[in-house]
C-alpha cells in the first residue's frame, strides 16, 4: 500500500526486453535502502525490486506485457523520469490517501495553465471503463495523491502547488502526455456495491 506522497524522482538508466517483459533499471537515491522483493510505486505502478546495484544506486524492476499495455510505462525510454514511492509504513501518518499501486487506466493531459505560481492540469480519459471522479475527491496521477478540482463524465482538473510541481514529474508534463490514473479505492467499492444492488 502507498499514500501518493512521492519520495523522489528516479531516472530510467536502461530498459532490457526479455520476451514480452521489460526490465527497467532505475537510478534513485534510496536504492541502497531497498531489499529484493520490496514493492516500489513507479508513476503509481507497484513493481517488485528484483535486483540492486548498490555501487551505482540502481535497482531493477520487471513489468509484464499487461502492465506495459495498461500504463504509461510502455511509453518510457532511457533518460525518462519517474515518480517513486516506497510502501507505506504502518506506524507513519497517512499524508495522502490510500493508494494500492494498481493503475485503473490512463488519461491524456489536455491542458496546462499557470496561475501566478500554481498550475491547473486537465485530464481526459475513456468514460467507457466507468471510472468516476468527484469534486474534492481523491485521485492518483502518476503516483501522486491529488484532490479533484472539478469533475466531468470523462475529464477532471487538479491544482498543483509549487512544491508538488518541483518535487514530482509534473514540471515535465505537457498537453498530449499520457498519465496513469488510480481512482479512489473507496469510491470503487461504493460504485461496485451500487451496481450489485440495482
Q: Do domains 8-86 and 105-197 have the same CATH topology?
A: yes
Could you report the per-residue pLDDT of 17-28, keeping only the tens digit for each?
A: 999 999 999 999
In sequence order, what E strands does 39-97 have?
A: 39-42, 45-53, 58-63, 81-86
Instruction: For the chain, give every domain's residue range.
Output: 8-86, 105-197
pTM > 0.85: yes or no: yes
In CATH, what number does 105-197 get?
A: 2.40.30.20
**Coil/strand/helix, residue 73:** helix
Least confident interval from 66-75, 87-96, 111-120: 87-96
Grid coordinates of 100: 494500492
Name the nearest CA neighbour of 109 among 174, 53, 156, 196. 174
CB count within 10 Å of CB 54 equals: 11
Could you report the per-residue pLDDT of 96-113, keeping only the tens digit for each?
A: 888 999 999 999 999 999
Question: 42: burial class by Cβ within 10 Å (0-12, 13-18, 19+)?
Answer: buried
CATH architecture of 8-86: Beta Barrel (2.40)
Could you report the per-residue pLDDT of 27-53, keeping only the tens digit for each?
A: 999 999 999 999 999 999 999 999 999
Examine the pLDDT at 189 and tell me if it is beyond 90: no
pLDDT at 28: 98
Amino acid at each position: 500500500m502507498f499514500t501518493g506522497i512521492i519520495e523522489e524522482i528516479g531516472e530510467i538508466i536502461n530498459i532490457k526486453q526479455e520476451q514480452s517483459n521489460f526490465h527497467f533499471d532505475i537510478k534513485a537515491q534510496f536504492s541502497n535502502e531497498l531489499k529484493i522483493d520490496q514493492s516500489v510505486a513507479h508513476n503509481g505502478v507497484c513493481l517488485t525490486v528484483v535486483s540492486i546495484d548498490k555501487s551505482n544506486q540502481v535497482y531493477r524492476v520487471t513489468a509484464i506485457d499487461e502492465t506495459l499495455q495498461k500504463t504509461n510505462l510502455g511509453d518510457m525510454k532511457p533518460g525518462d523520469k519517474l515518480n517513486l514511492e516506497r510502501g507505506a509504513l504502518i506506524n507513519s501518518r497517512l499524508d495522502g490517501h490510500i493508494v494500492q499501486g494498481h493503475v485503473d487506466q490512463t488519461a491524456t493531459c489536455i491542458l496546462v495553465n499557470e496561475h501566478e505560481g500554481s498550475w491547473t492540469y486537465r485530464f481526459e480519459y475513456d468514460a467507457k471503463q466507468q471510472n468516476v471522479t468527484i469534486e474534492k475527491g481523491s485521485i492518483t496521477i502518476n503516483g501522486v495523491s491529488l484532490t479533484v478540482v472539478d469533475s466531468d463524465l470523462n475529464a477532471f482538473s487538479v491544482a498543483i502547488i509549487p512544491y508538488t510541481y518541483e518535487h514530482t514529474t509534473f514540471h515535465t508534463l505537457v498537453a498530449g502526455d499520457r498519465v496513469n490514473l488510480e481512482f479512489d479505492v473507496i469510491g470503487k467499492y461504493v460504485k461496485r456495491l451500487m451496481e450489485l444492488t440495482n
